[in-house]
Structure 1
Amino acid sequence: MSIDKATLPGGALSGFVASAVEYMMDAGQRNVLFMDVLRRRGDQYREHAAQTAPHVLHYAAELIVDGRTLDEPVNYALVRIIPPKDVEIDLDRRPFIVVDPRAGHGPGIGGFKADSEIGVAMKAGHPCYFIGFLPEPMPGQTIERIARAEALFIEKVISLHPKADGKPCVIGNCQAGWAVMILASLRPELFGPTIIAGAPLAYWAGVHGKYPMRYSGGLLGGSWLTALTSDLGAGKFDGAWLVQNFESQNPSNTLWTKQYNVYSKVDTEAERYLEFERWWGGHVNLNAEEIQFIVDELFVGNNLAAGRIRMSDGQPVDLRNIRSPIVVFCSKGDNITPPQQALDWILDLYADVDEIRAYAQTIVYTVHENVGHLGIFVSGGIAKKEHAEFSSNIDLIDILPPGLYEATFEAKGTDTTNVDVAVGQWVMRCEARTLDDIRAMGGNSPEDERRFAAAKRVSEINLAAYQKFLQPWIKGMVTPQVAELMRGLHPLRLQYEAFSSQNPLMSAVKSLAEQVNEDRKQVSTGNPFVAFQEQVSKQIVHALDIWRDSQEALSEATFLAVYGSPALQAAVGIDPQSAPSRPQEMSAAHREMLDRRIAELKSRIGEGGLREAAIRGLLYVGSARGMVDERSLEALRNVRRSNSGARLTLTEFKMLVRDQFFMLLLDQEGALTAIPKLLPDDASARQAAFAAIGEVLSASAAISGEAAKRLKRIAELFGIDVDEVSAMSSNIATFDPKAKAS
């Protein structure tokens, strides 16, 4: 729209001109300051790359184990996080170990700022450790060797906290998530609760119209290109290619928004931008064997959940072997690891929730509505909410009876029951779910599964052809010096180098920026040209998003058409009429162990005392609600503190809860009718135990409906008059007396 200045009144014209001059002055200064930010970014990149152990940890750390010194050396290390002076750590509390992803970037993102996974865990009083890595892999390093090293790291942490009330809680972010799951399946005795944040475990999963990254392997012809890239790197895979792959998923942010946000707010956003870019530009290398395993076994092969991965000694990787609770944190806004890729491994492994229980597994998941992939473990808001609640309530998660749960978070308010009992600003509860709740999020059809199976076979064929006909020639031509030169010429590295102070054209930018800062004149917020600038920016973002959407739609259509071809599927050995495989059959050894365990539990239903009877009654009543929240756990802690008898450790208490839960599951009526046999003759002891049950149940909500009916039955089994106990103790003041008539 053009403006005819001749038609403007004199005052309006002068105002227009003044606004234009003001905007041009500000824009010119912003250009200088923005170029100086890019110069600082380039210099920061060079300084970071020159460090022996570059990282972005916000906290000081003490080296505990250097993986390079192990019998099978790796470029990983275990460090202890030194808490700030204002943070009090209880050394007898369960340690937290954060494992950062080695997916192209350097380490430290889990402790990137005060409001981080490490920060909130320390604020909750837990000792914290961090497993990071160096930029260059050790010769011969493999994924299996790293797993063995990380097992040694966890053993070391356990040895440093012999009195800890529980095994370490291990957090695996992104790529580290599947690595932690592999290790937990191989060494389940080392792990406490395991938190998997933004980690892909079911690599083919997704829904049409979203998350096209899962099609990349098939569209590129499989993993032969991974092998070629490693060979061009003289046996090393440049992590910058992984970072570029992430950036290509959101071109409007990569090409425009990230830079424009700094340019438009250069006076306030520069430091935040530089802080993030220090990590984003810290590229690391992987050995060819490492990346080939990742692509072949995981991203293209989808072998993890299927149990088709085996270690060098023949030991299978079976995620059903994991005995500690698994917490899966994912988001609908994550285009790298959507909820289906984070959760559908559960559908691959189990036919129903009873089968999850048969493996004594506890799986808790939470799905954020919109946060992106990096926000899952970088966002301060996520750290202060989800990660803070996980840290504060890790004991609740650890003692949950086996099954499938969804963790939900409710903001505390004046009407929240027992508001002072819940820690922080949120109340976390774990609500029972079924596999249908996961299926409802969407997933692959049988036709989709055949397409991905065909892509896997094509990848195997192409890789074999490359290894036979081309790889010997490539390896013979590429020397380490040539590989290093090509790494330096990678586009992502060049964008940092080109704007650093090493560029002679940037020599004047620093002095110009200093002059601008001395005479900075910011444009007023009401300037019409600022609004026009914002509108232009939105149009650029919109155009790039349209381009992205069209490319994604084309990619999906191409993949579905090519690999959906019955002729191609038949040619590579895929039956065009085949159906997806059922969840893995339970092994004969596990079935035998399960039968023995069932027989043992049934034989012990009549054994125990008041403690067993109280826990059994609590589980019976509480299961009617289908959920547990943190207020109930705090009430249970209060009961344990006030109990003058012998205290159970958390591990012992967890086993007690699980035994009583399974007894109710196997023979509910028999377990209930056996309760009177477990109770002492002392009426006051029975009353106190029953009051404790009421205290725990009423901590989160009024006891009513089915829960009230069940509580009435427990009262009868305990030989207690409900009205008398209600009047005597405020612990069950919320018990609904109307349920007595039911």
Structure 2
Amino acid sequence: MLPAASSMMNASLALFDPLGIGRASVDYWRDSLERSVLYLDVMRQRGNQYLEHMEQTKPNVLGFESEVLLDGRDLPRPVNYELLRILPPAGIEVDLQARPFVVVDPRAGHGPGIGGFKPDSEIGVALRAGHPCYFIGFLPFPEPGQTVEDVVDAEIAFLREVIARHSDVSEKPMVVGNCQAGWQIMMAAALEPELFGPILIAGAPLSYWAGERGKAPMRYTGGMTGGSWMTALAGDLGAGLFDGALLVQNFEKLNPANTLWDKQYRLYANVDSEAERYLQFERWWGGHVVLGADEIQYIVDNLFIGNRLSTAGLSTRDGRRIDLRNIRSPIVVFCSKGDDITPPPQALGWVRDLYADVEDIYAHEQTIVYCVHDTTGHLGIFVSGSVSRKEHTEFTANMDYIDVLPPGLYETQVTERAPSGEDAAHIDGDYLLEFTPRDVADLDEFVQPNEEDDRRFATVERVSQINLGLYQMLLQPWLKAVMTPEAARWIRRMHPIRLAYKLYSDRNPLMVPVPVLADRVREERQVAAQDNPWRMAESVASDHISSSLDAYRELRDSLTEKLFMGWYGQPWLQTVAGLGIGGEPLRRRPGIEPEHRRFVDNRQAELCQRIDQGGGHEAVMRALIYVLGGAPSTDERNFQRLKATRAELEPELQLADFKALVRDQFFILKLDRKRALAAIPTLLTSCSNAEIDEHLEHLEHVLAASGPLAEGVSERLEEVRGYFAEARPAPAPKPAAAAPAEEAAPVKAASVKKEAPAGNAPSTQKKPAAKPRARKSTADKSSDKE
């Protein structure tokens, strides 16, 4: 505060000094002129970079060397995707026995490579952790006839290739999908769940009707354009191709202050230091690609407007139902409150659509983890270096922990770890990843479901179908007849976004003197002082312009929302669309269907038969889950100690088997906790006293990882100790004292009679019968305690 106040005071005093204001004016005039020349030169470089990038056969912005392993154009149904292996940079060692890491890039108008854009990226994080890394990217133009289903099948083929290359690794690949790639890999995982390890979807929209009033203006776009007929029109004007620049234009319209002013002024104001960063980002932002008309029509009809992915309403051409409940891998949803393209309601709403409650998630053996960032924007979720160093680093470091989390819904938070402490060795990196169990109802804080809004969006879907049908009948045949590939190419080249890059390139004769002037300016550059009154006035004026554009955006979005709600909320329009009052629920949850209930009942019956089956490992895991199950949260320290101790006691047990063990015992406890706990002594029957002590020590060692035990946890631990004590074999009876001579003879005679026929044998043998009575008494005592 003091330097800023001092600068303001100096600037104010300079205004009353004629010589000072004259000197400041000359300095500012020269500085602004030089900045203008340098700014034009950066824009010229941007244009040249754009043209060079677009002329490449396989353009991408990957910051790592790579090699092509599988080309999607060679598949039975060709697509413009390819599988790349990332070559580790010098100084980074990769463990080929570690779980493979696959990043799928979003194809939403921009070129590929954003997941490995710079060293602090998703790929960079995985490489530093020692994982073999693969990248699924794409080419600028689609293959003829390519569909969304073909792309999904190609990604499945790519994952099979990755798994085949690491056949000796038991863990399946961790897959990361950014933005559009998120819902794409979710579709693939629903069709082939056995190929996927943990799935991380970052900024990926899956529930398009969801949103908070006053935010998420993109969800109104379909309704304000009358449905998807505009998408079909754009595809026909492109002669079967859809220009990705149109999607980029939609993104830029969301924040006019940044698009029209802030981004450019930031470069102009700091042109000496900002140029490199600006050009690096523009290389990706301006790398526009093309989508097939059939692809984008499928996306808009089924996802953006139809919202069918989050309600299991999609089927493949061969009749397979795309149901996200089929996914068996843990799903990590990473979103942000500062994201206006994929706000938290659209990233998390699918959970609420598919599951009635958390018990439904248990029944499907699914683990869903969500993390909501407070401030970062859409691109920051998978581009920001600070996010990569924190959230993505923790997700990568703890993927094994996430993989063995019991089924359920969890919210995760990343906090700074203590600088030192006894369990510092059990935390990877500089942060601590903590998981808190949640219920589906807890998502309402972010999703904010609204039945009236759902009815409006359902009306949009019906209106869209009507308008699309009319367009396909009346206009589409004429456009297809007259449009040629050459005309479509000319239209793409004349798009305002593409044209802006070309006009500032060396292909424009007016830009010829700019590089010469820029070189001269750099040689004699004189920067105006930061406390120059005119420089400060410029900054104030910039803030006013930005605020004005923000005010325009808020007014525009508010009017758009009111118009949308008012028009599509008309009862007569909803009735005409077939959505009259008293109709069926608009979001019929798949979980209420009869076949789903039968699945749940069969699963429960199967687990009931396995309650008393197993051994010491099952007993320890069951006890651990029970003790921790009532705790408010758990974190990575529990898993690190559990993993370390497991490596000592069971080095042959693979992580996949360990995961199955955790899940089975979790379900058994959920099904019938009382019977499951009572069966612990039965599970330990084959263990010796030393083995039981070792199992109990293992259990207590894991529980101590998170510090002092809470009161409830301590009580459950004491209860578990009682079950372990009950399992100990009863001590052997002490030998009787030597009997007098006259009493010894009958015992000897009895032992002689033992060889006689059964009818002459003694009717009872009291001492052997004492053991079962003693054990039964202990069991009864434990039952009373319960």
Give me the TM-score of the superposition, normalised by structure 1.
0.94
> In 1, Cα distance between the equivalents of 2:396 and 2:564?
42
**Equivalent position of 2:73 in the other structure:** 68
SS for the counterpart of 1:171 is strand
Aligned partners of 1:417 and 1:699 also within 8 Å:
no
Aligned partners of 1:417 and 1:700 also within 8 Å:
no
Residue 404 (str. 1) matches residue 385 (str. 2): no
> In 1, Cα distance between the equivalents of 2:687 and 2:245?
71
> In 1, Cα distance between the equivalents of 2:724 and 2:607?
22
Q: 1:444 to 1:640 in 2, by over 3 A?
A: closer
**Equivalent position of 1:691 in the other structure:** 697
SS for the counterpart of 1:487 is helix
**Equivalent position of 1:603 in the other structure:** 609
Percent identity among equivalent residues?
51
- 1:591 is displaced (CA, Å) by 3.9
Residue 56 (str. 1) matches residue 90 (str. 2): no
**Equivalent position of 2:211 in the other structure:** 206
Q: Map 1:377-456 to 2 at 5 A.
A: 377-414=382-419, 418-456=423-461
Q: Map 1:251-400 to 2 at 5 A.
A: 251-400=256-405
**Equivalent position of 1:3 in the other structure:** none
SS for the counterpart of 2:424 is coil
Q: 1:19 to 1:690 in 2, by over 3 A?
A: same
Give per-residue Cα distances to partners, 1:53-98, cap 9 Å, x unaligned: 0000010001100011111110000000111122121111111110
Aligned length: 716
> In 2, Cα distance between the equivalents of 1:708 and 1:36?
68
- 1:682 is displaced (CA, Å) by 2.4
Aligned partners of 2:111 and 2:288 also within 8 Å:
yes
Question: Out of 601, 615, 624, which is 2:630 matched to?
Answer: 624
**Equivalent position of 1:499 in the other structure:** 504
Q: 1:718 to 1:186 in 2, by over 3 A?
A: same
Question: Out of 75, 88, 92, which is 1:87 matched to?
Answer: 92
**Equivalent position of 1:634 in the other structure:** 640
Q: Which amino acid aligns with 2:617?
A: R
Question: Out of 656, 671, 692, which is 1:666 matched to?
Answer: 671
Give per-residue Cα distances to partners, 1:471-515, cap 9 Å, x unaligned: 001111110000000000000000100000101110100011101
> In 2, Cα distance between the equivalents of 1:404 and 1:427?
19
> In 2, Cα distance between the equivalents of 1:624 and 1:417?
25
Residue 225 (str. 1) matches residue 230 (str. 2): yes
> In 2, Cα distance between the equivalents of 1:70 and 1:550?
49
Q: 1:11 to 1:628 in 2, by over 3 A?
A: closer
> In 2, Cα distance between the equivalents of 1:473 and 1:596?
56
Q: Which amino acid aligns with 1:702?
A: P
**Equivalent position of 2:741 in the other structure:** none
Question: Out of 11, 18, 24, which is 1:19 matched to?
Answer: 24
Q: Which stretch of structure 1 is more off in the superposition, 609-618 or 486-495?
A: 609-618
Q: Which stretch of structure 1 is more off in the superposition, 687-696 or 335-344?
A: 687-696
Question: Out of 182, 185, 200, which is 2:187 matched to?
Answer: 182
Aligned partners of 1:687 and 1:720 also within 8 Å:
no
SS for the counterpart of 1:405 is strand
SS for the counterpart of 2:371 is strand
SS for the counterpart of 1:441 is helix
Q: Which amino acid aligns with 1:133?
A: F
Aligned partners of 2:110 and 2:287 also within 8 Å:
yes
Aligned partners of 2:310 and 2:353 also within 8 Å:
yes
Residue 98 (str. 1) matches residue 103 (str. 2): yes
> In 2, Cα distance between the equivalents of 1:654 and 1:547?
53
**Equivalent position of 1:154 in the other structure:** 159
> In 1, Cα distance between the equivalents of 2:125 and 2:368?
22
Q: 1:539 to 1:655 in 2, by over 3 A?
A: same
Residue 710 (str. 1) matches residue 734 (str. 2): no
Q: Which amino acid aligns with 2:250?
A: N
Question: Out of 471, 474, 479, which is 2:476 matched to?
Answer: 471
> In 1, Cα distance between the equivalents of 2:470 and 2:227?
12
SS for the counterpart of 1:409 is strand
- 1:8 is displaced (CA, Å) by 9.0
> In 2, Cα distance between the equivalents of 1:598 and 1:451?
39
Q: 1:585 to 1:614 in 2, by over 3 A?
A: closer
Give me the TM-score of the superposition, normalised by structure 2.
0.89
Q: Which amino acid aligns with 1:32?
A: V
Question: Out of 580, 589, 602, which is 1:583 matched to?
Answer: 589
Q: Which amino acid aligns with 1:611?
A: H
Aligned partners of 1:640 and 1:647 also within 8 Å:
no
Q: Which amino acid aligns with 2:725?
A: G
- 1:525 is displaced (CA, Å) by 1.8
- 1:123 is displaced (CA, Å) by 1.2
- 1:153 is displaced (CA, Å) by 0.3
Aligned partners of 2:427 and 2:636 also within 8 Å:
yes
SS for the counterpart of 1:390 is helix
Aligned partners of 2:349 and 2:447 also within 8 Å:
no
- 1:114 is displaced (CA, Å) by 0.5
**Equivalent position of 1:700 in the other structure:** 706
Q: Which stretch of structure 1 is more off in the superposition, 568-577 or 123-132?
A: 568-577
**Equivalent position of 2:82 in the other structure:** 77
Aligned partners of 1:417 and 1:701 also within 8 Å:
no
> In 2, Cα distance between the equivalents of 1:288 and 1:18?
60
> In 2, Cα distance between the equivalents of 1:710 and 1:428?
25
Aligned partners of 1:237 and 1:285 also within 8 Å:
yes
Aligned partners of 2:176 and 2:199 also within 8 Å:
yes
> In 1, Cα distance between the equivalents of 2:503 and 2:210?
40
Question: Out of 231, 239, 248, which is 2:244 matched to?
Answer: 239
Q: Which amino acid aligns with 2:721?
A: A
Q: Which amino acid aligns with 1:142?
A: T
- 1:442 is displaced (CA, Å) by 4.4
Residue 561 (str. 1) matches residue 556 (str. 2): no
Aligned partners of 1:332 and 1:338 also within 8 Å:
yes
**Equivalent position of 1:724 in the other structure:** none
Aligned partners of 1:93 and 1:165 also within 8 Å:
no
> In 2, Cα distance between the equivalents of 1:576 and 1:545?
39
**Equivalent position of 1:728 in the other structure:** none
Q: 1:412 to 1:122 in 2, by over 3 A?
A: same
Q: Which amino acid aligns with 2:295?
A: E
Aligned partners of 2:681 and 2:726 also within 8 Å:
no
Give per-residue Cα distances to partners, 1:291-330, cap 9 Å, x unaligned: 0000000001111112221110111111111111111000
Query: What stretches of structure 2 of length at least 5 have no aligned partner?
Result: 1-11, 728-784
Aligned partners of 1:92 and 1:165 also within 8 Å:
no
